[in-house]
Amino acid sequence: MFIEHLQLTNYRNYETLKLDFSPKINVFIGENAQGKTNVMESIYALAMAKSHRTSNDKELIRWEADYGKIEGVVQNRYGSFPIELSITKKGKKGKINHLEQLKLSNYIGQMNVVMFAPEDLNVVKGSPQVRRRFIDMEIGQISPVYLHELLTFQKLLKQRNHLLKINQGKQQIDDVLFAIYTEQYIQSAVQIIRKRFQFVELLQEWAEKIHSGISRGLEKLTIKYRPITGLNSSWTEKEMATYLEEKLAEVKKRELERGITLVGPHRDDLQFLVNDYDVQTYGSQGQQRTTALSLKMAEIELIKQETKEAPILLLDDVLSELDDYRQSHLLNTIQGEVQTFVTTTSVDGIHHETIQHAKMFHVKQGEIENN
């Protein structure tokens, strides 16, 4: 899979921009704050219907404009097709083959991307919220059903939290309505947890092999999904639901005191172990970077396996964060097979033939020229 053409209208610092890409490597060179990352972000947003940098869609619209638009032509094994994301202050609309999609969950997954930026190191060393976002976004690309289930879960969580909030500090709650919300919440939570367990098992298969290769066989990477409730991946849906019901009954008094739901997938986490040691706590900076790189390369392989298409890889100012060995390992893996976009202030320090044959775009003050 690759994107042939990109057109931006009123997006960030670009009033209009039209670019044609190589199906292999595309490099954007320029100083910081010139607009390189905005192009990367637009490709990501075109695929995922959201930015990787902000949750406020209004920030994507050019200053004083009423709307922003990202258009692309994507090539996959079946042929090429247009894809479009329109952003207004009221919301977003996605089109595939000029047909508006009623739900964004139907739109996502038509164009698969893997983004690797310096902030992705936070997947390893950041907060549980960052890791939950990582896992939800990646499952959503290969399973549109999951996005629908996630939206349902978030809606039910919000309803249950609202009921807890308005009864905060009370000893009792309307048990009939609360029981209905809790039962629906449990059923939805179980679907999310099961999907996450399945995804992590698949990710583990690829990441372990890749990490071993990068570390020259000296390290073994283990990825674990950690439900805060202690659920087991081998349990049936009924067993999981029963266990969650028991846990929620145990914390009901505390939930009323605090006015929030204390048990569920919105509080779960991922754990990364290298040679059985927690990388977040005990890993060196090199081990944390190798773990993050292994995750991103495993994502590529997993998406290829599940969709039968190689995703588009976005490397936003990340090559400078990797030493020569890790750079070479990444570029050797993607060479000739994965359409890749790279942003950098200079290619002088990147000694790899893949970059030497790339299509170069020079970015300066929101203007882009290519050779």
Distance CA(69)–CA(185), nearest Å, equals 36
Hey, how many other C-beta atoms are within 10 angstroms of the C-beta on 332? Answer: 11
Distance CA(23)–CA(124), nearest Å, equals 30
- pLDDT on residue 160: 95
CATH number of 1-112+309-370: 3.40.50.300
Please state the separation of Cα 227 from the chain's center in Å. 19
- pLDDT on residue 105: 83
Q: Tell whether 30 is in a known binding site.
A: yes
Judged by DSSP in three states, 93 sits in strand
- pLDDT on residue 26: 93
- pLDDT on residue 175: 81
23 Cβ neighbours under 8 A, 6+ residues apart: 2, 4, 75, 339
- pLDDT on residue 192: 96
- pLDDT on residue 352: 67
Hey, how many other C-beta atoms are within 10 angstroms of the C-beta on 88? Answer: 15
150 near 192, Cβ under 8 Å? yes
Distance CA(67)–CA(209), nearest Å, equals 45
Q: Tell whether 9 is in a known binding site.
A: no
Q: Tell whether 15 is in a known binding site.
A: no
Q: Tell whether 109 is in a known binding site.
A: no
CATH 1.20.1050.90 residue ranges for the chain: 120-308
Distance CA(192)–CA(149), nearest Å, equals 7
Dihedrals phi, psi of 335, to nearest 5 degrees: -55, 120
- pLDDT on residue 349: 67
- Structure tokens of 268? 């779960």
Average pLDDT per consecutive 10 residues, the chain (371 residues; last block may be shorter): 96 94 92 89 94 89 94 94 94 94 88 88 89 91 89 95 89 83 96 96 94 91 89 93 95 92 95 94 88 91 90 88 80 82 82 78 88 67
Provide the β-strand partners of residue 271: 224
Distance CA(119)–CA(279), nearest Å, equals 16
Distance CA(279)–CA(270), nearest Å, equals 11
Judged by DSSP in three states, 77 sits in coil
Q: Tell whether 241 is in a known binding site.
A: no
Hey, how many other C-beta atoms are within 10 angstroms of the C-beta on 3? Answer: 24
Distance CA(315)–CA(115), nearest Å, equals 6
CA angle 183, 187, 189 (to 5 degrees): 110
- pLDDT on residue 23: 93
- pLDDT on residue 366: 83
Q: Tell whether 36 is in a known binding site.
A: yes
- pLDDT on residue 346: 82
Distance CA(322)–CA(338), nearest Å, equals 19
Distance CA(330)–CA(352), nearest Å, equals 11
How far is residue 37 from each of residues 9, 29, 43, 313, 320, measured CA to CA in Å? 16, 11, 10, 14, 15
- pLDDT on residue 322: 79
CATH 3.40.50.300 residue ranges for the chain: 1-112+309-370
Hey, how many other C-beta atoms are within 10 angstroms of the C-beta on 84? Answer: 18
- pLDDT on residue 318: 83
- For 120-308, CATH number out of 3.40.50.800, 1.20.1050.90, 1.10.275.10, 3.40.50.300 equals 1.20.1050.90
- pLDDT on residue 28: 94
How far is residue 216 from each of residues 296, 301, 351, measured CA to CA in Å? 18, 19, 21
